[in-house]
Structures are given as C-alpha cells and as structure tokens.
Amino acid sequence: MKSYRKELFFNVPTRRAFINITPQVEECLRESGIKEGLILVNAMHITASVFINDDESGLHQDYDVWLEKLAPHEPVSQYRHNVGEDNADAHMKRQVMGREVVVAVTDGRLDFGTWERIFYGEFDGRRKKRVLVKIIGE
Ligand code: ZN
C-alpha cells in the first residue's frame, strides 16, 4: 500500500471565506500516483472547515448568512470562550461545517457525486493556516 501526505497553506485576507480547493486536492492525487484508495482532507485548525458541496456563489452567501444567524460574530461579549479572544463564533461555525472529508479514489480520480467539490471554509482568517491531505491506496 502506498501512502502520501501533504499540507496545503492558506492565508485568507478576510475573516471568513469559502475556497474551492478541488484543483489542489486533484494535484495531490496526481503527485501521489495512487489509482485506487481513499483521500482524507482535513482542516488543521479549530476555526476552519473542509466540506463538500456545490461550487455556487449564491449558496456560499447563503451559508455565510445562515452561519451568522446561528453564531453571530458580534457582539463578541456574548461569548465566554477565552475572555479577550474574539473567535468563539468561528469555533461554532467550524463545528457546524465539519472538520474533514473523505473521498474515494477510483481509477486515479476523485469519485465525486454530481456537482460535488471540496471547499476550505475559513471563519477566523487573516493568518496562515494549514489543510492536511492524506492519501492511502495503491
Ligand atoms: Zn478561540
């Protein structure tokens, strides 16, 4: 069995953003040379997510509005998380949107369902963060 590991880096200039990382993940898969197996992609921070959904900008705005209703950023004084920190909402948004995805690798390709793409969800940006890509198979 072969195994491959790579870290992807993101430094999002805004507090929140959704980024389609499917091309980077596909590049990792090419580099790995693995044709049959599993690929894991996970955020390595507790204020960011990796998830799968549609690459449609309206939906991404809808997510942002929905997450702001669930866990508004302001006022930060409503949260008890590490008094003085301002990212309690980012921890909650990450919890809802998830930590990782696993995708089957079949015939050297990501075995997606219809319209599925992989996204990095940033909820407390403006600093360098990492995403882990791990691929196992043969
Ligand atoms: Zn925090």
> What does the pLDDT profile of the chain (138 residues) look like in tens digits?
999 999 999 999 999 999 999 999 999 999 999 999 999 999 999 999 999 999 999 999 999 999 999 999 999 999 999 877 899 999 999 999 999 999 999 999 999 999 999 999 999 999 999 999 999 999
Query: What is each CA distance from 66 to 70, 71, 103, 120, in whole angstroms?
Result: 6, 9, 26, 17
pLDDT at residue 115, rounded to an integer: 98
pTM, entire model: 0.96
pLDDT at residue 73, rounded to an integer: 97
What distance in angstroms lies between residue 23's CA and the mean position of ligand 1's atoms? 30
Domains of the chain listed by start with CATH number:
2-137 (2.60.120.460)
Contact (Cβ atoms closer than 8 angstroms) between residue 132 and residue 7: yes
What distance in angstroms lies between residue 122's CA and the mean position of ligand 1's atoms? 13
What distance in angstroms lies between residue 71's CA and the mean position of ligand 1's atoms? 14
pLDDT at residue 84, rounded to an integer: 77
pLDDT at residue 85, rounded to an integer: 86
What distance in angstroms lies between residue 67's CA and the mean position of ligand 1's atoms? 17
Smallest CA-to-CA distance from 17 within 91, 115, 124, 89 is with 124
